[in-house]
Amino acid sequence: MVKIMTTFTVKIEQDEDGIYVASVPELPGCHTQAQTLDELNYRVKESIELYLEVISESKFVESGI
């Protein structure tokens, strides 16, 4: 498997309860939340990977592969 490095913008906000919320504007619907920035960093990377995996799989289904 070939891994391609891509850079995405990650928007991080902190809600009124102190929870960090991250979204990736280039990937609609790709967002996550966590109590710490370290945990958020891990979760946002995981969310991006899963988002791209689902998109990749759906392209195979649409093409009939």
Dist. CA 47–CA 44, nearest whole Å = 5
Q: Which amino acid does the sequence have at 30?
A: C
**Residue ranges in 1-65 assigned as alpha helix (H):** 37-63
Q: Within the chain, what is the greatest distance between any pair of CA atoms?
A: 46
Query: Residue 65: is its pLDDT beyond 70?
Result: no
Percent of the chain with pLDDT over 90: 74
Residue with tokens 């960093």: 41
Task: State the pTM of this model.
Answer: 0.80
Question: Where does 15-56 show beta strands of DSSP type E?
Answer: 20-23, 31-34
